[in-house]
Amino acid sequence: MKSKTYSYFALLLACLLGLQGCTSSEQEELQQWMVTERNGIKPQVQPIPEPTKFLPQAYGAERMMEPFSSEKLVSVMRGNAGITVANSALIEPELNRRKQPLEAYPLDTMAMVGSLNRQGQLVALVRVDSLLYQVKPGGYLGQNYGRITRITETEVVLREIVQDAAGEWTERPAALQLQEEASK
């Protein structure tokens, strides 16, 4: 039993000697080193520039013409020296009339899906998004002033008015072909 007591005593003595090595003197040295390093670092902070002074300006455009109005387009066209009388006569009636609902959609988003014979006159069925519309000759389609000139069982023929590269208004033919859907 004495040998067991001696071995516990020896183990306890070894632990105490081991803890003696972790005294506060090393902690003090570490703390002193951290303080000197912290004091030695000088951050370089650039000063914040002064904010620019805001100078309010009075809004003076309320007397000017709206930039997206049809009057602006007409005035620009009339003021442009390169526009001929025939050229302005082509677009001017289109600017003065009320737009129809199907003129809000591009022609390539529309599809002809059928036709009806109403009192001897063909009426085309045009699908835009998921809605069906009935159109007849004289109506308008698309965003390029497309006027329907003829409807057959397989297509809707249009006359569009577009600007060419020189800025002149010209007529061009366009058509919507009958779109047959594949059976499911």
Cα gap 145→161, rounded to integer Å:
6
Indicate the DSSP class of residue 98.
Answer: P
Residue 11 included in any domain: no
My answer on whether 92 and 167 are in the same domain is no
My answer on whether 117 and 182 are in the same domain is yes
Residue 24 included in any domain: no
My answer on whether 84 and 152 are in the same domain is no
Domain that residue 103 falls in: 99-184
Cα gap 135→111, rounded to integer Å:
12
Tokens of 83: 């526009």
Q: Assess whether pLDDT exceeds 80 at residue 85.
A: no
Residue 16 included in any domain: no
My answer on whether 112 and 174 are in the same domain is yes
Cα angle, residue 156 at apex, residues 153 and 168 outer, rounded to 5°: 160
| pLDDT value, residue 39 | 87
pLDDT band at 148 (very low <50, low <70, confident <90, very high): very high
pLDDT band at 13 (very low <50, low <70, confident <90, very high): confident
My answer on whether 157 and 89 are in the same domain is no
pLDDT band at 5 (very low <50, low <70, confident <90, very high): confident
My answer on whether 89 and 106 are in the same domain is no
- Work out the mean pLDDT of the chain and round it to a whole number: 82
| pLDDT value, residue 57 | 87
Residue 136 included in any domain: yes
My answer on whether 77 and 125 are in the same domain is no
Mean pLDDT, residues 133-161: 92
What separation, in Å, do the N-terminal and C-terminal C-alpha atoms of the chain show?
96
Domain count, the chain: 2
My answer on whether 153 and 103 are in the same domain is yes
My answer on whether 119 and 177 are in the same domain is yes
Q: Is 179 helix (H, G, I), strand (E, B) or coil?
A: coil
My answer on whether 154 and 90 are in the same domain is no
CATH code where residue 154 lies = 2.30.30.830
Given 48, 81, 97, the domain boundary residue is 97
Residue 46 included in any domain: no
My answer on whether 111 and 183 are in the same domain is yes
Q: Is 181 helix (H, G, I), strand (E, B) or coil?
A: coil
Residue 45 included in any domain: no
Cα gap 97→109, rounded to integer Å:
23
My answer on whether 132 and 180 are in the same domain is yes
Residue 7 included in any domain: no
Residue 108 included in any domain: yes
Radius of gyration, CA atoms only, the chain: 43
- Phi, psi values for residue 64, rounded to 5°: -85, 170
